[in-house]
Structure 1
């Protein structure tokens, strides 16, 4: 095989009047090779196969199948080719498809991913974009019910300033609770909230807003906007911030952090991103400088009434964890599952059984303090149950010396045959008493 440079050289030598033999001697190639390249029978950079390609007979079938279905898996195509006599391997098939360019581009998909995108203007104070970011494998001591945590990210579309709130679930109460915290972190309200087509915002059957979310939007006086199907790029600001949070914050978050410390960490990280450069109307600026132009409306004085419910398992000391603090439950529920309920903005939490019976109510401490709040009645009842269930006497120590007792020694003497002979003593007092009674009766 000749390279492009060698091909240019032999054509130049031929134009200078040299014969094929002279060119072969000068370039140290075979005369038949030189003649093939000069006549155009072979192309530079393309190696000529010594044997015919066995895949040539399957080209028509593969071309037809990939034209019918451009997304057909190569493994599925290999299953179809086996009965037709194809003996090559899976890598051979994929290499042939790639080298021959047999898989056509799907025009329908190219319309979605490679279509022209219009530039969307975001005036100050116009739009806030919200989206969930899934966080796999959170630390086990966070106590989440699944092996996933979720970060609700809210981004101001004009400045790009964003904040995030960690949540154990994406259901509607946790969404509204996280949004309430997010709006406070962002500092106010825009005119529009933009979401993708999440079921907690948009009913999947009717296509209308869900009743609870509609009430939440009315409470804040904001217009919710849901992206059209397959048009998620309209909220690209929040999606880019999601990518940043996943790769630069969550990826190296230490395992030993508590949930409250992790929440403070993401808030600090997001605030640090305010200094990143942005292109504004008057040249390069920063997100923090553009945030100064945001015209945010104040939040309502009263939070929206929504009840957040989460399941917990009480410890053997009849305590449950809630927002970085511990609260007591009746001792009968030690090591049992309970349900914790808190209304947004309320200063108390209710602890109920799985069936829904409220068994305790506590004043809420500031999250993350690590304090333990016990009810006096719970403490008294727990001590009574603990004392009643304690075994008599003191428990044995691990290394306590307890030699064989008298009963064990007697049993050992019987086994070894060294036991002293036992004598039977018969008392005649009973017979004497019986004789006296008989004489008295006569």
Structure 2
């Protein structure tokens, strides 16, 4: 984000002023972190950290955002598109550049002062790619910005880092040891695409097919021949005389079951038999 803002401004100031935020310094001591110091050194700018308990100085810095945070944001209607919102911000920027100032008795504007202020040139490429940690899925995919990118098989559940650089259309996936294992074109954010490298697809198919084999029979299932009783029951169901066993009576109506049910209804219970 910092690099993007400087490129839109056409350069960077010679010194940067930041609040005591954890991304820039250690809030307790105000000492700049080594990671952000490398960024400032890359762009050739100095860093000024706001001292603690100095609300006035911090307020001076934040007052310049008053128009954007209060006057414009509170008047934004619902359902505004990104293009319409950007157009409104651009119009606000023109109005803010027209604010009048008087320097050494000479009337000027904020825009003229900003145009006359010398800025440092910024490098052609951003300082370093941003890193986002992700977990490889069982399908050898890594999710990022609403899309899925493939990695070589054999890494399910492994923590990897997605490396992206501002302005690049290429996305890289690296291990914790900084070894790049995949490189893909970056799909539009939130498009739901699945980007797979051809070599990853072939390797995944080989790994899946290697886990299946029909050369040896399954050891957990044993095929046994039918017993004589099973063969006799099969012949009985087909209506043929039983082989190797006595013939059984086949009931073709429900009158027999009805008679048995009537006997059970009229038969005395065990309690009544004991009383007799």
Task: Identify the match of residue 234 of structure 1 among 43, 47, 60.
Answer: 60
User: Within 2, Cα distance between the matches of 1:276 and 1:345?
Assistant: 29
1:422 to 243, 251, 257: 243
Q: What whole-Å deviation, never above 9, does each CA across 1:282-315 have from its counterpart, x for those lacking one?
A: 8xxxxxx843541352532344533421123445
1:220-259 pair list within 5 angstroms: 220-230=43-53, 231=55, 232-237=58-63, 239-240=65-66, 241-242=68-69
Aligned to 1:270: 89
CA distance in structure 2 between the partners assigned to 1:324 and 1:183 by the alignment? 27
Question: Which residue does 1:219 correspond to in 2?
Answer: 42
Q: String of CA shifts for 1:313-351, please: whole Å, max 9, x gaps.
A: 445653334456543212333576532124567775432
Unaligned runs of 5+ residues in structure 2 are 103-108, 215-229, 246-276
Cα contact 2:11–2:122 (8 A) shared by 1: no
Normalising by structure 2, report the TM-score.
Answer: 0.56
- Contact kept, 8 Å, 2:72 with 2:92, in 1: the verdict is no
User: What pairs up with 1:29-428 in 2 under 5 angstroms?
Assistant: 178-230=1-53, 231=55, 232-237=58-63, 239-240=65-66, 241-242=68-69, 267-276=86-95, 279-281=99-101, 290-291=110-111, 293-295=113-115, 297-314=119-136, 317-322=139-144, 326-333=148-155, 337-342=159-164, 348-353=170-175, 355-356=176-177, 358=179, 360-365=181-186, 368=189, 370=191, 373-387=195-209, 421-423=242-244
Unpaired runs of 5+ in structure 1? 1-177, 255-260, 283-288, 393-409, 425-442
Alignment length (residue pairs) = 215
Q: Which residue of 1 aligns with 2:258?
A: none
Return the TM-score normalized by structure 1. Answer: 0.38
Secondary structure, counterpart of 2:142 in structure 1: strand
The answer to whether the 8 A contact 1:227-1:234 is kept is no
Shift in CA distance, 247/388, structure 1 to aligned 2, threshold 3 Å: farther
How many angstroms apart in 2 are the aligned matches of 1:380 and 1:307? 29
- Structure 2 distance, partners of 1:274, 1:179, is 18
Which whole-Å CA distance do the structure 2 matches of 1:391 and 1:242 have between them?
A: 65
Output the CA distance in 1 between the equivalents of 2:32 and 2:141: 39
Higher mean C-alpha deviation, range 383-392 or range 368-377 = 383-392
What's the Cα RMSD here? 4.6
Q: 1:342 to 1:265 in 2, by over 3 A?
A: farther
